Amino acid sequence: MSIALLTPFGGVRTVTGSRFLVEVDGRRVLVDAGLFQGLKELRERNWADFPVAPRSLDAIVVTHAHLDHCGYLPRLVNGGFGGPVHVTYDTGKLMSVVLPDSGRLQEEEARYANRAGYSRHRPALALYTEDDAWTALERLVPRSFDEEFEVVPGMVARFEPAGHILGSSILRLRLSPDGGEPVHVTFSGDLGRQQHPLLRPPAIVGETDWIVIESTYGDREHAEDDTVDRLAELVERTVDRGGKVIIPAFAVDRTEVLLFHLRQLAEEGRLPSVPVYVDSPMALAALGVYREAIDGHAEDVRPDLHGDGSLFRVPRLDEVLDAQGSKAVSAMGGPAIVIAGSGMATGGRVVHHLARFLPDPANSVALVGFQAAGTRGRQLLEGADSLKIHGRYVPVRAEVCDLSGFSVHADGSELIDWLRTADREPSGVFVVHGEERASLTLQRRIVDELGWNAVVPRDGERLDLHVAAVPAGAAVPATGSTRGGEVGEHAGRGRDEVPAGAEREGKEMSPDDARRRLAIADHGVLSTVDPDRGVHAVPVCFAVVGDHVVVPVDTVKPKASTSLRRTDNLDVDPRASLLVDHWDRHDWQQLWWVRADLRRCAAGTVSPSTTAQLERALRERYPQYRTTEFADLLVFDLEKIGGGVAAG
């Protein structure tokens, strides 16, 4: 009998550690690789062995760049996972901001704990390092929204906008166990709200057999939309007292949304003239990704937004990059607004600001995001009169204000409304990603209000995705022709008409053409020098084919110990050497971004079969390279290299 199974290993009856194993005919794909955060017993799960061997996973799909969905990835890669990690482009870019930062933070925490001697572990270790994070990022395969791709034989996936943070996705899986009748599973991911000021509302459910839905706010309704007014009042009150407003904010999205609203308040004359510090290099890097996405009209950005650079232009905005500047902010007197991470005050610079400013009743703390159990943010929300910071108790005398209306999670009624966009009653709904009470409340509502089958699964529970009777109706088409359309448009298309792994539409190039274009193309060979071994460790070859420069991706691996040396005729096109410049400067983030952009561009112009032809041609031309080095080719668009870097 054909088998499709879903097993949660985290992210059930808690809001963190989202990791869902999907198995089809014995092939294993992990949906999300999230970090546990908050309570100590949860965080300790990050150190436990993953229930299945990481090397036995064939692929990972990540719905968005929040750490509770992607922060465990470096650990899995360290543990032997070597497959692809599918993400949307902006999720990839944001992961290249948050994962290295997460590694850095964990190294710092371990160092600090060792110095202060407050850890029970001696010596305290980092869960993973910044280097580990960069190694993990090499596994990323960026995808467009609405692009269909085969994850493993028997599983086709597609991302649709979830409206939660930039790049965040609702994940559609079409499982065909044993090549039989397909089963459709829809993961809500973290679901956004209709009124996100920067992002399009979430895509609809449409046609599906199973739904895996988050329930962060499953037992709550967001207050009426006076959150911005309440922020304005809080700022005014605090400034009148001569105090500072401290806002612990998730670097990704919350900081952007806050700046957007602060700018609007300033424009309406409702923001007192005080300095606004964004004290988080990570938030500033994420802000850069948002700006680029808005300028580039990314698919999930609201189409009415204009990228004239003014969206986040708050008067007296001060971007604090280095630790020195952060200390200066802490030491400074007088009123100000300080936005710093992390969002739940579990780490990051905001912790030092809280230690400094909580004891003074003139100050205030605005809590603008979800605060998980066990975090300092949650303790503040629940009225704690002191907070333990770096082994000491700090009295809480500052005003604490709950502004969870800024949340980028749908509330209970919004989750129910989203489910109502399904074309028909699904076989079942799995309620996940919520604290137990929230999940159970939403489950009850689904049963009572929609009359559907809904369960809150347990950790490690194997859920059978068998569909008893297949109702006639729509299928998710296998071609890439869904762009811009809704799932419902394809109703009436029979399931049997959709062959699994069908050839995609795209511009085709005959093998002869590809070879001819290669033959006339310039090419270059780079070699790398490993100072430890003193040898040319990794050959990097590229070919300029028409408008594209083709590089085997495996060889473009950033390692701090490796430097690139130019050989041969690298300078055939000055734009191609920009990649090397980034490498020379060890600017892995820029390098990664350029690659992601190029790949995104290439995805629109070169079909997989063309890539395969180029790959064959390259193999003939460069017989000295092993076959595997061509297994994953990057096709870079030269126009985009020039344009992207000039703009950045």
Q: Note the residues at the interface with Zn ion (CB under 5 A).
A: 66, 190
CA angle, residues 346, 340, 381, in degrees to nearest 5:
50
Q: CA 191 to CA 203: how far, in whole Å?
A: 10
Three-state DSSP state, 133: helix
Give the rounded distance of the alpha carbon of 408 from its chain centre: 14
Between 214 and 637, CB nearer to Zn ion: 214
CA distances from 119 to 39, 114, 123, 464 (A): 16, 7, 8, 42
- Closest CB 64 distance from Zn ion, rounded Å: 6
- Closest CB 200 distance from Zn ion, rounded Å: 16
Instruction: Residue 639: name the closest of 604, 606, 601 by CA.
Output: 601
- Closest CB 413 distance from Zn ion, rounded Å: 19
Between 37 and 135, CB nearer to Zn ion: 37
Burial of 330 (0-12, 13-18, 19+ CB in 10 A): middle
- Closest CB 494 distance from Zn ion, rounded Å: 37
- Closest CB 68 distance from Zn ion, rounded Å: 7
- Closest CB 94 distance from Zn ion, rounded Å: 11
Between 18 and 589, CB nearer to Zn ion: 18
CA distances from 44 to 16, 216, 291, 351, 559 (A): 12, 21, 36, 21, 29
Between 134 and 217, CB nearer to Zn ion: 217
Between 211 and 408, CB nearer to Zn ion: 408
Between 164 and 174, CB nearer to Zn ion: 164
- Closest CB 69 distance from Zn ion, rounded Å: 6
Burial of 161 (0-12, 13-18, 19+ CB in 10 A): buried
Identify whether the C-beta of residue 644 lies closer than 8 Å to the C-beta of residue 597. yes
Between 377 and 480, CB nearer to Zn ion: 377
Give the rounded distance of the alpha carbon of 200 from its chain centre: 17
Q: Looking at this protein, which amino acid is placed at residue 559?
A: K
Between 129 and 169, CB nearer to Zn ion: 169
Q: CA 630 to CA 607: how far, in whole Å?
A: 16
Q: Which residues contact 590 (CB under 8 A, 6 or more apart)?
A: 582, 648
- Closest CB 170 distance from Zn ion, rounded Å: 13
Q: Looking at this protein, which amino acid is placed at residue 494?
A: G
Give the rounded distance of the alpha carbon of 521 from its chain centre: 37
